[in-house]
Amino acid sequence: MDFNYVIAMLLVALGLYCLLLKRNLIKIIIGLAVLTDGIHLFLISLGYRAGGTAAIVSGEMFLDLPGFAAHAVDPIPQALVLTSIVINICILALALSLAIYAYRHYKTLNPSKMRRLRG
Amino acid sequence: MAGAFLTPLVDVLAKRMNHPRARDYFALAVTVGTLLLVVDMATSVLGGDILVYKLGGWAPPLGINLAVDGLGLLVGLIVAGISTLVVIYSFVFMRQESGLGQYYTLMLLLTAGMMGVAFTGDIFNLYVFFEIMAISSYALVAFRRSKISIEGAIKYLIVGSLGTSFILLGIALLYGSTGTLNIADIASKLAVINTTSGSTPLISIIALTLFVVGFGIKVGMIPFHAWLPDAYQAAPSPISAIMAGGTAIVGVGALLRVSYFIFGAPMVGPLLIGLGLVTMVLGAFMALVQRDLKRLLAYSGISQMGYILLSIGLGTALGITGGLFHMLNNAVYKSLLFLAVGAIIYRVKTSRIDELGGLGRKMPITAGIFLVGALALAGMPPFNGFASKLTIFLAGIDAGYPILSGIAAIISVVTLAYMIRAFIAVFLGPQTGRFENVKEAPRSMLFPMMVLAAVCVVLGVLPQLGFSAVEPAQEVLLNPSSYIGEVIPGA
Amino acid sequence: MKRVLTFGMVVAVGALLIFTVSTDLLPFGSFPQRQVGEDIKNAIGQQILVEAPEDTGSANVVTSVVWGYRGYDTLGEVTVLFTAVVGVLAVLRAVGKRE
């Protein structure tokens, strides 16, 4: 059953909805977080092996490395998601600090009311 | 040679220093060093080689590799050159701002991100460097923290991170369907998939669409362009220059690498032609009605991106050559124009066209340089824009779409119209009393502009130079198999 | 009106993505197999699982990927973090400070 894939894509669509239709900067930023979390979930799901174990060699597995390799899940998406999470934290931090400034300047978090730039 | 790949590392070390001038010169030294390393690599890459460097010594499909081919070199050369000149320009332009330590650090990080995107051979690594580039440019747009710069930065950040998320999703889909992350490896596996099934599976089409949207947002293609004029207007002028001449070019380069290498020309071509046409026409007409010089330049930049995408989408050798040559030229004169507008802002403190007038007598050198840039942008001989636009027209006729060439020529006339209008409004006409005491721009700001203007003229008089620079890039785009063979022997 | 259109677009994109991942990929849990043309090939993760314990000597394969095979990504990740720190500092720096 591809339940994981479907749920991950639902999260992506939900994030997209927040990002495009919400009128509050904080909610938009949350939408961004949900969107990327959906992608992370999808990536992790891609590396799942039915009935697999974590990609850590432990205990008696040291004696049976080929057996370990035949049962562990994919380590690559986990590494990618690790990298990607940090990147998204960075974006969120920057976005929130900009939101603080926007609020100081405009006294609102509604992006459609920030209309200095036109043309 | 391998040292060039360490530029990101060097740049990370570019921490804030205590001596106010030392930090400026350090930034300059790093960018000049980067430029020299790229020029050093240029000799062997222009000779037809592809330099491959395996990071950590892991063989390519498992580890990450860097590969410098013609396309990467072209983009790297543009980026290194423009960022060096912009750093020189910033010495005086930004002197009165606070937080210059962060400014130069972010500038170097932006350069590092762009170089990384240009040279990497791994698709997830491309995403990581794209994010470095994106995050530093968000922060730089917001640098002044005035109302408009915060607004521009927020719009840019939200739209831009939507784009990078799409790129990540595209990468995830590709990993799901091919099980590898190396660009060359993905390309060879997708080619197998396409030939055996006879058609392209839905998942590849979705992934391609995600990539086009993601990179298209950075490039400023028309349906995704809304952030661009705001961000360019809000950013300090040197940053607008580096974004127009650097990040947009890197976006095009990454789009080409991903779309042509991974998916192949026949699938991408019509999409690029369509988007390029819309971008070119609408961008030019929106530029016509702008009242602010920087916004005008931003829209004309969008329009020029349309030319590049259109020409490359044709898929013929001549079309790709014309597009890449135009990309090189566009980077040169667009950053030149932004720097010239920066000089005006530095002396006059405004960039609104109606408030300006009669500056030609007070700032003759800036006026001359602006005129060179404007004529090059409009594609007048003997400047570089003429050579590349002519190539694009010929490529359109050659590929059997004379109507595209016709539209491109008409848009070129529109471009000439709005650039001349802007020039007359700003530099000619009656002098208003306000500008009595305006002086010529300082010398360290004129120097980078003069270099760029000289490049405009040289490339216009001797277009062969430009053609020989884009030739390897065109070959590698039309024939990715040499790249694949170089990265993964025996694939 | 514009909001309705945008909402419709979001729904369409979501439905398309869900349809794609549930039809065009091998079913969930089928790592390491990937359908390449008519052959079933292994994803690169499988090769790393086989080689990593001996090549890197690390018991945790994810660690060897993060610090070994894809070390350059980690360098990029740290650079992103650094960028964000500098960026936030630049945005939130003390108002009116002149150097």
Judged by CB atoms closer than 8 Å, whether chains meet at A55 and C60 is answered as: yes
Band of pLDDT at residue B13, cut at 50, 70 and 90: low
Query: What backbone torsions phi and psi does residue B280 show, to the nearest 5 degrees?
Result: -60, -50
Judged by CB atoms closer than 8 Å, whether chains meet at A21 and C6 is answered as: yes
Euclidean distance between CA atoms B316 and B10, whole angstroms: 39
Euclidean distance between CA atoms B204 and B193, whole angstroms: 10
Q: Among residues 110-149 of chain B, which lie with CB inside 8 Å of chain A?
A: 124, 128, 131, 135, 138-139, 142, 145, 147-148
Integer CA distances (angstroms), B392 to B324, B326, B332, C67, in order: 10, 8, 18, 46
If you count residue pairs, one on A and one on B, with CB atoms under 8 Å apart, how many are there? 87
Euclidean distance between CA atoms B234 and A101, whole angstroms: 15
pLDDT of res. B22 = 66
Asked if the model's pLDDT at residue C99 lies above 50, the reply is no
Give the closest-approach CA distance of B136 to chain C in angstroms. Answer: 6
Euclidean distance between CA atoms B66 and B118, whole angstroms: 9
pLDDT of res. B145 = 81
Interface test with C, best of B7, B23, B143, B177 (most C CBs within 10 A): B177
Euclidean distance between CA atoms A2 and B249, whole angstroms: 39
Residue from B191, B137, B190 nearest B164 by CA? B137
In a domain, A65, yes or no: no
**Cβ of residue B59 closer than 8 Å to a chain C Cβ:** no
Euclidean distance between CA atoms B243 and B305, whole angstroms: 13
**Cβ of residue B229 closer than 8 Å to a chain A Cβ:** yes
| C54: amino acid identity, one letter | E
**Cβ of residue A34 closer than 8 Å to a chain B Cβ:** no
Chain centroid to CA C10: how far?
Answer: 22
% of chain C exceeding 90 in pLDDT: 0
**Cβ of residue B135 closer than 8 Å to a chain C Cβ:** yes
Give the closest-approach CA distance of A36 to chain B in angstroms. Answer: 6
Q: Give residue-wise pLDDT tens across range B218-240.
A: 888 888 888 888 888 888 888 99
If you count residue pairs, one on A and one on C, with CB atoms under 8 Å apart, how many are there? 155
In a domain, C91, yes or no: yes
Euclidean distance between CA atoms B344 and B350, whole angstroms: 8
In a domain, C22, yes or no: no
B75-79, B345-349, B355-359: which has the highest mean pLDDT? B75-79
Give the closest-approach CA distance of B296 to chain C in angstroms. Answer: 27
Q: How many residues does chain A have?
A: 119
pLDDT of res. B433 = 63
**Cβ of residue B213 closer than 8 Å to a chain A Cβ:** no
Counting as contact any 3 or more CB pairs under 8 A, the partners of B are A, C
Euclidean distance between CA atoms C31 and B176, whole angstroms: 9
Judged by CB atoms closer than 8 Å, whether chains meet at B196 and C71 is answered as: no
Locus of tokens 């049962």: A71
Domain count, chain A: 1
Asked if C8 and A25 count as a contact pair (C-beta separation under 8 A), the reply is: no
Band of pLDDT at residue C95, cut at 50, 70 and 90: low
Give the closest-approach CA distance of C63 to chain A in angstroms. Answer: 8
Angle at B448 between CA B444 and CA B451, to 5 degrees: 130
Cis bond upstream, residue B402 (ω within 30): no
Query: What backbone torsions phi and psi does residue C26 show, to the nearest 5 degrees?
Result: -65, 155
Q: Convert B75-97 to b/e letters by CB count within 10 Å (16 or more is b).
A: bbbbbbbbbbbbbbbbbbbbeee
Asked if the model's pLDDT at residue B217 lies above 80, the reply is yes
Residue from B263, B347, B350, B354 nearest B313 by CA? B263
* Chain A residue nearest residue B287, CA to CA: A119
Mean per-residue pLDDT, B373-380: 86
In a domain, C28, yes or no: no
Locus of tokens 């000149």: B85
Asked if B27 and B14 count as a contact pair (C-beta separation under 8 A), the reply is: yes
Interface test with C, best of B103, B180, B224 (most C CBs within 10 A): B180
Strands (E), B27-144: 51-54, 65-68
Asked if B35 and B81 count as a contact pair (C-beta separation under 8 A), the reply is: yes
Band of pLDDT at residue C74, cut at 50, 70 and 90: confident
Mean per-residue pLDDT, B153-163: 90
Q: And the tokens for B1? A: 């040679």
Strands C33-36 and C39-42: antiparallel
In a domain, A22, yes or no: yes
pLDDT of res. B169 = 92
B65-74, B433-442, B481-490: which has the highest mean pLDDT? B65-74
The residues near A26 (Cβ < 8 Å, ≥ 6 apart) are A96, A99, A109
Instruction: Count other Cβ atoms within 10 Å, centred on residue C74.
Output: 18
Band of pLDDT at residue A112, cut at 50, 70 and 90: confident
Mean per-residue pLDDT, A56-69: 72
Locus of tokens 């990101």: B8
Q: Give residue-wise pLDDT tens across range B318-342.
A: 888 888 899 999 899 889 999 988 8
Asked if the model's pLDDT at residue B5 lies above 50, the reply is no
- Which residue blocks in A1-119 are alpha helix, DSSP H? 3-21, 25-46, 65-71, 75-106
Q: Which chain B residues contact residue C17 at CB under 8 A?
A: 169, 206
In this complex, the residue of C20, C38, C86 whose CB is nearest that of residue B105 is C86
Judged by CB atoms closer than 8 Å, whether chains meet at A98 and C91 is answered as: yes
Euclidean distance between CA atoms B172 and B193, whole angstroms: 17
Strands B65-68 and B51-54: antiparallel
Q: Which domain holds residue A41?
A: 3-49+71-111
Band of pLDDT at residue B345, cut at 50, 70 and 90: confident
Domain count, chain C: 1
Instruction: Count other Cβ atoms within 10 Å, centred on residue B29.
Output: 13
The residues near B90 (Cβ < 8 Å, ≥ 6 apart) are B24, B103, B104, B107, B238
Alpha-carbon dihedral B452, B458, B460, B463, rounded to 10 degrees: -120
Judged by CB atoms closer than 8 Å, whether chains meet at C87 and B63 is answered as: no
Mean per-residue pLDDT, C22-34: 74
> What do you get for the CA distance between the two ends of chain C, in Å?
51
Mean per-residue pLDDT, B115-140: 89
**Cβ of residue C54 closer than 8 Å to a chain A Cβ:** yes
Locus of tokens 């990993």: B175
Q: Which domain holds residue C63?
A: 44-99
Asked if the model's pLDDT at residue C98 lies above 50, the reply is no
Average pLDDT over chain B reads 82
Integer CA distances (angstroms), B233 to B107, B298, B331, in order: 18, 8, 18
Locus of tokens 């990454």: B254
Q: Give residue-wise pLDDT tens across range B419-465.
A: 888 888 888 877 666 666 777 778 888 888 888 888 888 888 888 88
Strands B65-68 and C33-36: unpaired
Counting as contact any 3 or more CB pairs under 8 A, the partners of C are A, B
In a domain, C23, yes or no: no
Band of pLDDT at residue A40, cut at 50, 70 and 90: very high
Domain holding A86: CATH number?
Answer: 1.10.287.3510
Interface test with A, best of B136, B137, B144, B162 (most A CBs within 10 A): B162
Integer CA distances (angstroms), B50 to B62, B121, B182, in order: 20, 12, 16
Mean per-residue pLDDT, B134-153: 87
In a domain, C76, yes or no: yes
Asked if C15 and C22 count as a contact pair (C-beta separation under 8 A), the reply is: no
Asked if the model's pLDDT at residue B151 lies above 80, the reply is yes
Q: And the tokens for A41? A: 């979930």
Q: What is the DSSP letter of B69?
A: -
More confident residue, B400 or B79: B79
**Cβ of residue C23 closer than 8 Å to a chain B Cβ:** yes
In a domain, C77, yes or no: yes
Interface test with A, best of B123, B128, B141, B169 (most A CBs within 10 A): B169
% of chain B exceeding 70 in pLDDT: 91
pLDDT of res. B19 = 55
pLDDT of res. A31 = 92
Give the closest-approach CA distance of A59 to chain B in angstroms. Answer: 27
In a domain, C27, yes or no: no
Judged by CB atoms closer than 8 Å, whether chains meet at C43 and A17 is answered as: no
pLDDT of res. A38 = 92
Integer CA distances (angstroms), B68 to B323, B332, B371, C4, in order: 20, 22, 36, 46
Euclidean distance between CA atoms B88 and B77, whole angstroms: 17
Integer CA distances (angstroms), B178 to B3, B350, B386, C39, C42, in order: 32, 53, 43, 11, 9
In a domain, C50, yes or no: yes
Q: Which chain B residues contact residue A91 at CB under 8 A?
A: 131, 135, 157, 161
